[in-house]
Chain A
Amino acid sequence: MNIVVAIKHVPSTADELEINDEGVNLDFDEVDFTINEFDEQAIEQAVLVKEASGGEVTVIGVDVIEELDGVLHTALAKGADKAAKIVGDLEPPIDSHTQARWLADAIGGLTPDLVLTGVQAVDDLDGQIGPMLAAYLDLPYVGVVTGLSVSDGTATVHKEYAGGVMAEFEVNLPAVVGVQAAEKPPRYAPISKIRQMAKSADLEEYEADENVGDSGCEIRKMAKPVSAGHAEMLEGDAEEVAEKIIEILEERGLL
């Protein structure tokens, strides 16, 4: 089994997000980047499949902000065998269609049996790379997947719907699968192992093709959402806040 996992670095939404001076994107100098949470799940799922069925896991990403190495090293420490990145004179934001084309070109050359992506990332508005990759590579795609096993050139996947309902599909390989959650929580990689990867690992590089067209989706304005209402904020220290919450609940007959 030749498994490729596309992984991505995204702004951490736990932090305060600042808009850039043009008002069309985040100010990337002011945010921390972290691995997309669903990509961690995809890496774990890939390693689980490798452990069950044998093979090799390659992680690959478009190095949009030139800080992808750390993420690739972490993936290697978690059990990936090879890592690659797509590099060039890249100026964010780069739309998903363009990134998907670059990834498709590189991944196609790796002749994978299975391509995993995260189900989605929080940072872009023009859809998900997984189905786009599948479309460019002319492979089947199933997303929102929480379970995956492989035998005889077929993957059996569980796709989540609402309300805890799942559908089971059989998918001819090669295929692209968008992972929501791995069958087990992602394993932990000790810092020492990540450091060791940073010292010893070879990252293969692919040059981004600058002639690939864009998706025609330009953001003309980005701002914090205007909402119809806002919570009434309870002032005071934790003691006082706890007191107030209990009071409010008692008044409403909820305690």
Chain B
Amino acid sequence: MSNDILAITEHLNGNVADISYEMVGGAKELAAGFGGQAIAIMLGSGMAEQAGTFASDATLYVDDPALAEFNPAAYGRVLAALVEEKSPRLIMFGNTSMGMDLAAWLSVKAGVPCVAYVNHLAVEGGELVATAQIYGGKMAAECVPAGDSAIVSVMAGAFPLDAGQGSTAAEQMASPVSLDDLPIRFTRLIMPEAGDVDITAQEKLVAIGRGIGSDDNIELAEELAEAMDAVLAASRPITDAGWLPKTRQVGKSGVSVKPKLYLMLGISGAPEHIEGMKDAEFIIAINTDADAPIFDVAHYGTTEDLFDVAEAMLEKLE
């Protein structure tokens, strides 16, 4: 058992994801509480330079052609081996597409408890206290994982970015395990289709969510957006239903936007949506649920019905 913290960093297309630096920053803060080191872990190929950009106490960079692109099977094998060898106090993943494949899996393989959706971590009297954001951001659950090792997956934005940026020379090593005969093979990256409007370049967005109810009601939102000289954006259920193109999706698996105005109609404010719009300059939320998490993020809000408000606004604007 060591008191070290491993921050499992991520990258795509040669770029280190922000969450990696956030985790390293968070790990540094916590490592002092445990009396251990904050160790950044990077898996990749030809990434030695990027591996040197963390403000960690130490960085371990595992280089292998099979690790060039994320592959849950390859990454899982390497991480299981590293964790067995190092038996860290804490392992941090991002609550991201990559982290979500690995955290719970490793939890079973390593026999270590896992807390997902973590947005706050503290060390109290040598114990780790993890706070998770559950029920779509409506509840905060606090827990102390039993035993002397734990895995967490942390939300984007839980820790400041800059505290994790620095220049610690990485120790490079070859994969400690064979990466032959992987049951999963990466074949290609598929980039988003261009063509539709670029919502990241808009000053004003009217964003619609599941509260819009049906396909037929999109027209009302469209008219309102037009009257305001704004463009329509949406939460995931709307693009999954095919009511608006995927290019309009804001959030974790969509795009991040920073418009001057983000007017929201019937969006609850799940963590995955907030991730993509929290930096908007001015946010107004219309949602009939007074407990909707979006009201903790918006500047102005109303619990009036979205259709009534949208129609009244349209009338006044026309």
Contact = CB atoms under 8 A, between A and B. Distances in A.
Contacts of A191: none
Interface stretch (B34-42, B132-140, B161-169): B132-140
Contacts of B146: 216-218
A172 B312 contact: no
B253 interface: yes
A172 B104 contact: no
A49 B307 CA distance: 38
Residue with the greatest number of chain B CB neighbours at <10 A, chosen from A139, A140, A172:
A140
B253 A217 contact: no
B172 interface: no
Contacts of A125: 115-117, 132, 134, 141, 143
B86 interface: no
Interface residues of B, number: 99
A185 B215 CA distance: 13
B97 to A, nearest CB: 4
Nearest to B312: A242
Contacts of B228: 249, 255
Contact of A254 (B101, B109, B136, B261): B261
Contacts of B295: 230-231, 233
Given A167-B190, A255-B228, A140 B141 contact: no
Interface residues of A, number: 88
Contacts of A100: 108
Contacts of B136: 13, 122
Interface in B64-90: 69-73
25 contacts: A123-B134, A126-B113, A127-B107, A127-B153, A128-B104, A135-B108, A140-B73, A141-B72, A142-B72, A144-B97, A163-B192, A164-B254, A165-B189, A166-B190, A171-B184, A175-B184, A219-B143, A220-B143, A225-B138, A231-B283, A232-B300, A233-B295, A233-B301, A248-B284, A254-B204
Interface of B: 12, 17, 69-73, 96-98, 100-105, 107-109, 113-117, 132-147, 151, 153, 183-192, 204, 228-229, 237, 240-242, 246-247, 249, 252-256, 260-261, 263, 268, 270, 282-285, 289, 291, 293-305, 308-309, 311-313, 315-317
